[in-house]
Amino acid sequence: MAQIVNNALEWANNSAVQVVRNGTDLDTTDMLHEIEVVEINRASAAERSGGPGIRYQNSSNYLFCILKDDNTQDELELGKITGGSLTVLSSVNATAANGDTVELRGIDDQLTCRHNGTLVLGPTTETDHDGQLRVNVRFEGAGSDASSIVRLDNSHATNTIPPDASPSFGPRRRRVM
């Protein structure tokens, strides 16, 4: 299990994509990464978003699920970055609120995304990133309003078998991010 505890990650007043990653390989590509959205506020910016990523190889190759506070419609987005190119695998309307949790699971070639514990995206088949063993956090947005912010905390990544996962999810492992 890899874990960031009480290490708030904050992204404000920026109009690009930023990725924060852990430096420890997990023992399997089957993984779960959950994070709490402590604060999300787009203010007058067009969008603010953030959420967990898995199977991180480098900033050009990883999977993610982000919660977006958008000026037209809030949503949850499941996607991948391959060779630096963004592909949105699926998305759904969702209300972005402080205190929400976003969870991304990759078990075998199946991806799922949960919002506040409820399965909302997936399972989606994805085979491009089977060999990447690290987790990450993705932030993105547009605009430059100084009061636009995304603050994430309580990141928890593991390869422990969740109660509703397949038996192949792997044994419990502990690692510090």
Taking only the tens place, the pLDDT of each residue in 95-131 is: 888 899 999 998 888 999 999 999 999 999 988 776 6
- Residue-wise pLDDT for 31-70, tens only, equals 888 999 888 877 777 778 889 998 888 888 899 999 988 7
Q: Which residues of 59-69 are buried (b: 16+ CB within 10 A; e: fewer)?
A: eebbbbbbbbb
Full domain range(s) for residue 10: 2-176
Is-cis flag, bond preceding 162, omega within 30? no
Counted domains in the chain: 1
Q: Residue 148: which CATH number? A: 2.60.120.560
pLDDT at 3: 37
Direct distance between the N- and C-terminal alpha carbons of the chain, in angstroms, rounded to an integer? 9
CB 75 within 8 A of CB 40: no
